[in-house]
């Protein structure tokens, strides 16, 4: 798990005066599902395209499976789905994959295996132009799986999938990781990322603003208490958890303590004569963390831009 599969150092891409990717340093390890998160235009797809050798960086560099991006030795072990799948509209899904398989020297058994893996064994015989958006995404993922790659780079793989399809995709990505394969995916569905990813990198305005495990980003869980009278409840909470771990939050109290303390806190509140309305474990979602991080980063960029204007 500690082996590095993808690493970048100062990876930068400029288009004229616009910096799409700004000195990104990221690390992806073998056997993990790595979520690459950012708003539209943040630089996600440009970064992924540079990792695949489809776009040449302005400065900085990257190593993919021990090679430079785009090196045939790396590409032979990499499967990718970037900016939606492109296939022949008049061919069925299976024949589209057969064309790709023959180009890579793979047999029809590989085609049937990947179609079955993404749930397209039946629809794979229908013309691609008749596919729904979700089916097109499934076929794109199937194409990426051809050749049994060690690394998968997927740009919005759940785009257009219904809830059942998303669940199937989560299961597939988990299976791949357990088999020792590595998945790098971008997605705007943060709930899905929270469920499936081991680590995430968050990019904003071209800069990687954080890289961490999902659990570390979400932080420790806390307890939320709603009781009456609240001042007496506050006194009880402070006595048990200490001043630093207790704060007022709306109509209730938030305690930064282990969830295992919930029974003790409930008992103490009741014994003190407090009317306990609610006591629950509260955890920040990945979506809440994402918006907090990106909003702070955007504010910083805006402030710097205003400072430059003031000096000019």
Residue 312 domain-assigned? no
- Tell me, yes or no, whether 186 and 249 share the same domain: no
- Tell me, yes or no, whether 203 and 226 share the same domain: no
Q: Averaged over 129-154, what is the pLDDT?
A: 91
- Tell me, yes or no, whether 211 and 230 share the same domain: no
Identify the domain boundary among 196, 217, 238.
Answer: 217
- The Cα–Cα gap between 94 and 115 comes to 8
- Tell me, yes or no, whether 169 and 272 share the same domain: no
Full domain range(s) for residue 232: 220-282
The pTM score is: 0.76
- Tell me, yes or no, whether 209 and 238 share the same domain: no
273 close to 232: Cβ distance less than 8 angstroms: yes
- The Cα–Cα gap between 290 and 186 comes to 14
- Tell me, yes or no, whether 36 and 111 share the same domain: yes
- The Cα–Cα gap between 181 and 226 comes to 46
- Tell me, yes or no, whether 236 and 176 share the same domain: no
Residue 144 domain-assigned? yes
**Residue ranges in 93-145 assigned as alpha helix (H):** 93-103, 108-117, 133-145
Query: DSSP string of 14-27?
Result: EETTEEEEEEE--E
Residue 291 domain-assigned? no
Q: Is 260 exposed, middle or buried (0-12, 13-18, 19+ CB in 10 A)?
A: exposed
Helix (H, G, I), strand (E, B) or coil at 78: strand
pLDDT at residue 296, as a whole number: 65
pLDDT band at 286 (very low <50, low <70, confident <90, very high): confident
Cross-strand bridge partners of residue 212: 200
CA torsion sign, 93 to 94 to 97 to 103? negative
Q: Is the pLDDT of residue 218 over 80?
A: no
- Tell me, yes or no, whether 28 and 146 share the same domain: yes
pLDDT tens figures, 5-47:
999 999 999 999 999 999 999 999 999 999 998 888 889 999 9
CATH of the domain at 9: 3.40.50.300
Q: Is the pLDDT of residue 300 over 80?
A: no
Residue 298 domain-assigned? no
Beta strands in 87-228 (DSSP E): 151-155, 182-186, 199-204, 207-213, 222-228
* Cβ-based neighbours of 89, under 8 Å, separated by 6 or more: 127, 128, 129
Identify the domain boundary among 172, 202, 217.
Answer: 217
Helix (H, G, I), strand (E, B) or coil at 63: strand
Residue 299 domain-assigned? no
- Tell me, yes or no, whether 132 and 177 share the same domain: yes
Q: Is the pLDDT of residue 281 over 90?
A: no
Element (H, E) at 220: none
- The Cα–Cα gap between 81 and 79 comes to 7
């Amino acid at each position: 798990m500690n082996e590095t599969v993808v690493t970048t150092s100062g990876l930068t891409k400029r288009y004229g005066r616009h910096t799409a990717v700004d000195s990104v340093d990221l690390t992806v390890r073998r056997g993990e599902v790595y979520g690459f998160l950012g708003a539209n235009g943040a630089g996600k797809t440009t970064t992924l395209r540079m990792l695949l050798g489809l776009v040449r960086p302005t400065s900085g560099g990257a190593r993919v499976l021990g090679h430079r991006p785009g090196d045939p030795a790396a590409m032979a072990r990499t499967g990718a789905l970037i900016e939606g799948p492109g296939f022949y509209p008049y061919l069925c899904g299976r024949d589209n994959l057969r064309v790709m398989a023959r180009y890579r020297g793979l047999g029809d058994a590989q085609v049937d295996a990947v179609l079955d893996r993404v749930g397209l064994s039946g629809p794979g015989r229908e013309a691609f132009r008749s596919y729904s958006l979700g089916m097109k995404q499934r076929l794109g993922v199937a194409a990426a799986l051809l050749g049994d790659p060690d690394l998968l780079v997927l740009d919005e793989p759940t785009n257009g999938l219904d809830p059942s399809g998303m669940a199937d995709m989560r299961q597939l990505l988990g299976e791949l990781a357990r088999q020792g394969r590595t998945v790098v995916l971008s997605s705007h569905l943060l709930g899905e990322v929270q469920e499936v990813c081991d680590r995430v990198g968050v990019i904003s305005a071209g800069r990687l603003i954080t890289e961490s495990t999902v659990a570390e980003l979400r932080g420790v869980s806390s307890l939320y208490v709603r009781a009456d009278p609240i001042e007496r409840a506050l006194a009880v909470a402070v006595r048990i958890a200490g001043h630093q771990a207790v704060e007022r939050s709306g109509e209730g109290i938030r305690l930064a303590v282990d969830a295992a303390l919930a029974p003790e806190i409930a008992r103490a509140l009741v014994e003190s004569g407090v009317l306990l309305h609610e006591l629950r474990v509260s955890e920040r979602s990945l979506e809440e963390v994402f918006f907090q991080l990106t909003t702070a980063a955007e504010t910083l960029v805006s402030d710097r831009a205003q400072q430059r204007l003031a000096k000019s």
